[in-house]
Amino acid sequence: MHYYRTYVRDLKDVDGAAGESVLVERIAELERLKSAAAAAQARVTAALDVARWSAEAAAGVPAARRGRGLAAEVALARRDSPARGDRHLGLAKALVHEMPHTLAALEGGALSEWRATIVVRESACLDVEDRRRLDEELCSDTGTLEGVGDAALAAAAKSIAYRLDPHAVVDRAAKAAGERTVTIRPAPDTMTYVTALLPVAQGVSVFAALKRQADACFDGRSRGQVMADTMVERVTGRPADEAVPVAVNVVISDQALLGAEQGPAVIAGYGSVPSAVAQKMILEAVTDTRSRATLRRLYATPANGALVALESRARLFPQGLADFIELRDQRCRTPYCDAPVRHRDHARPYARGGPTSAVNGLGMCEGCNYTKESPGWKVAAEVDENGSHTAEFSTPTGANYHSAAPPMPGTPKMPMTAAEMYLNGELLRVLAA
């Protein structure tokens, strides 16, 4: 740790009086350093994988269960989402055990970590011997990698893979169609990205149909607006400006809803939005006769705005409790994971005496929920003295990570008195029971 701090302190030293060429060379040097660090991470990750498998084999863990949860541990150590842990672990194992030339190119700065990932990804369908041939042909001479962009690198790797084993490449393409899906993620300014992963023929035809509609429309909207509106109309069967009968949970404080204060609101499955945007959405829903807007009260602790309970008379167990957990947690509670909540499960497993309660409940994505059930993982949840719902994740290596449910909209105006703290705690224990 001392070496790390000394090194970081040295990196912070920038000579602003140096010439521009010196500063550009410094940028290039730091980029090579990042690549070397990525190569070192790959070596350490592969060594951890071998150590874990050996330890679990010695402990009698069945082969099918060895290494479970390791990818999530790697992701947490890198402060990355667990979903990317599999990519980090797979990249490390491929580079260290099967692709020494690609690893050397990464170590020497000829490839970035992302560009090394491209090479590994495009060779994934090959057997070990063919993968090593691709590795040698593409990356043994790092001079050929100079000036090559990401798309050109991927194309070169695909070309070599197809020449070495065309059947494997074709089979991979055929299986990829089974991975088609649609995802959504937040975009800036209260917008969203809705992404469809489709087979190439279908994807091109969808885009062509939207483009054709835009080419024939001249009503003052831009081409992009026409294409977006057309997609909404064809998917929902309704005009883009008409209300769609789909439930959307908008969480906003009473003061912000009434316009007495300005602050954030939360849209479940999306995230934070300005209160003015939420007010407009709610007003439109309430005044639209085609909409069925409903109001449900939520209780938050006055100390910090942490959501503690649903209105008891509207709470239907277990679905009401599941809704409450999802509204409280908003996203998967594993640190660094921003995936939508798919499972509402026990922090301490029910089989080990964990109660089915708001305190012991966690909103998790599917992958993280299965990971925490792996050997050596422990999760403990509680409500702290400030009324915040917290969870502690302990990995098999003994590392601990903290997670807290996000506060609800509405900032407390003043700290609570001791009496208020006591009464709030009593209310919480009654509602969360």
| pTM for this model (two decimals) | 0.71
Q: Helices (DSSP H) in 109-219: which residue ranges?
A: 113-122, 128-139, 150-164, 166-176, 200-215
Q: What are 193's two structure tokens?
A: 């990205």
Q: What percent of the chain has pLDDT over 90?
A: 41
The answer on pLDDT for 368 being more than 50 is yes
pLDDT band at 295 (very low <50, low <70, confident <90, very high): low
Q: What are 269's two structure tokens?
A: 């499955």
Sign of CA dihedral 281, 282, 283, 284: positive
Name the most confidently modeled range: 127-136, 262-271, 279-288, 423-432: 127-136
Domain boundaries, the chain: 19-174, 181-236, 250-295, 307-432
The answer on pLDDT for 313 being more than 50 is no
Average pLDDT over residues 377-396: 88
The answer on pLDDT for 302 being more than 70 is no
Q: Helices (DSSP H) in 200-270: which residue ranges?
A: 200-215, 223-236, 254-257
List the beta bridge partners of residue 191. 187
Burial of 269 (0-12, 13-18, 19+ CB in 10 A): middle
Nearest to 234 by CA among 257, 212, 265, 264: 212
List the beta bridge partners of residue 274. 264
Burial of 273 (0-12, 13-18, 19+ CB in 10 A): buried
Cα 343 to Cα 245: distance, rounded to the nearest angstrom: 24
Q: What are 61's two structure tokens?
A: 């863990």
pLDDT band at 289 (very low <50, low <70, confident <90, very high): low
Sign of CA dihedral 306, 308, 314, 319: positive
List the beta bridge partners of residue 238. none
Among 43-57, 349-363, 388-402, the least confident range? 349-363
Distance (Å) of CA 29 to CA 6, 33, 265, 416 = 18, 6, 44, 53
